[in-house]
Amino acid sequence: MHMADALLNPAVGGVMWAAGAAAIGVSAKKAASDDAVGGRIPLMAVSGAFVFAAQMINFTIPGTGSSGHIGGGILLAALLGPFPALLTIASVLLIQCLFFADGGLIAYGANLFNMGVIPCLLAYPLVFKPMLSKGWTPWRLRAASVVSATAGLLAGAFCVVLETLASGITLLPFGAFTLLMMPIHLAIGIVEGVITAAVLSYVYAARPEILERAASGGSFEPRRGKRSLKPVLLVLAAAAVVTGALLSQFASSFPDGLEWSIERTAGGAELESDAPSFHRAQSVQDATAFMPDYGFGEESERGEALGTATAGIIGAGITAALAVGAGVAARAFKRGRSA
């Protein structure tokens, strides 16, 4: 559900950039005031790398000719807490935008709001946590994962419609676009919820305190006599590598839910814009994107497979490094304020 620049006018894009920047600022401040931020840094790295790799895999929605991929916001919020999660998903989306030309530069703020702010700062505290307020059980965790992931994705999809409406994109009339966007993203959201439930169920079975401390804001540092977090970190890191290098080869070739809805509403999968700001943003992405569309641009099947695997590994690594940087910066800011 990464929006392209042509779906927004510069004014709406600027407003959404401001909203995204404000959300990052608040999240950084909240993370910096959290005594447990240091213990979350390794988990921010591996979970961010995993979400980057997982977003490369589009799964087919049967009978529609469409596909979808996970957003990862609820997964990250459940593992890290809402504010570190937003910083992590912001890192994922920035790497995708600048280095792989996935999502527009003008649309970065909108993509961050739709895929980060809504699931991390709204769906997680308002849906996920209340569903577990009476106690943590495996079934409640699975139900909370599916419901919150679906709710977050549907809200994000509806925001896409509102953002195009505010931008005056006449090729995407509100009623017709909504009637296509919502049902297809309901299906995508359910699948994302099931995937989220599977990952969180493993983590809860292995180390339940990870999810409980993320929800309560407690320390992630292992206490004396407690098991290390390293096994879970290693499993998530290995999953990121396997997903980015191998499973990404089996991604669906069908357009994702947003592209599918645009094609059926406007008659084409891509819209064009003649605005000077659009061309300036495109030139920036052309200069920074060293593997556009997650590949080398080779036509051979072997070259495509190698390019996808390379992009998955490199992207996951850069995302992990950026997530670590965000966590370290927050901890350094906290120490500076304390001093």
Any domain includes 285: yes
Residue 329 forms part of a structural domain: yes
Instruction: List the one residue out of 68, 5, 4 whose CA is nearest residue 254.
Output: 68
Per-residue model confidence as pLDDT tens digits over 80-128: 999 999 999 999 999 999 999 999 999 999 999 999 999 999 999 999 9
Looking at residue 224, its pLDDT comes to 47
Structural domain contains residue 231: yes
What is the reported pLDDT for 334?
60
Phi, psi of 67 (to 5 degrees): -145, 175
Mean pLDDT of the 186-195 span:
98
Quote the number of domains for the chain: 1
Question: Distance between the two ends of the chain, CA-based, in angstroms?
Answer: 43
pLDDT band of residue 221 (cuts 50, 70, 90) is low
**pLDDT band at residue 303, thresholds of 50, 70 and 90?**
low
Residue with tokens 């099931």: 194
pLDDT of residue 38: 61
Quote the pLDDT of residue 130. Answer: 97
Least confidently predicted of 55-59, 63-67, 226-230: 226-230
pTM: 0.93
- Asked whether residue 160 is assigned to any structural domain, the reply reads yes
- Distance, CA of 267 to CA of 55 (rounded, Å): 26
Domain at 21, CATH number = 1.10.1760.20
Residue by residue, DSSP assigns 109-171 as HHHHIIIIIIIIIIIIIIIIHHHTTT---HHHHHHHHHHHHHHHHHHHHHHHHHHHHHTT-TT
Mean pLDDT of the residues in the chain: 90
In a domain, 338, yes or no: no
Q: Which domain does 223 fall in, by range?
A: 5-333
| Residue 232: partners with Cβ closer than 8 Å, 6 or more residues away | 43, 203, 206, 207, 210
136: which residues sit within 8 A by CB, 6+ positions away?
A: 204, 208, 211, 212
Is 236 a domain residue? Answer: yes
Q: What percent of the chain has pLDDT over 90?
A: 76
- CA–CA dist 125, 282 (Å, integer): 36
Report the pLDDT value the prediction gives residue 301, as an integer from 0 to 100. 53
What distances in angstroms separate CA 334 from CA 40, 217, 284, 320, 328, one per listed residue?
14, 16, 34, 21, 10
pLDDT tens-place string over residues 133-163 = 999 999 999 999 999 999 999 999 999 999 9
Whether residue 86 is contained in a domain is answered as: yes
pLDDT of residue 34: 67
pLDDT at 337 > cutoff 70: no
User: Domain for residue 339, yes or no?
Assistant: no
> Which residues 6+ apart lie within 8 Å of 213 measured at CB?
36, 219, 220
Per-residue confidence (pLDDT) for residue 37, from 0 to 100? 63
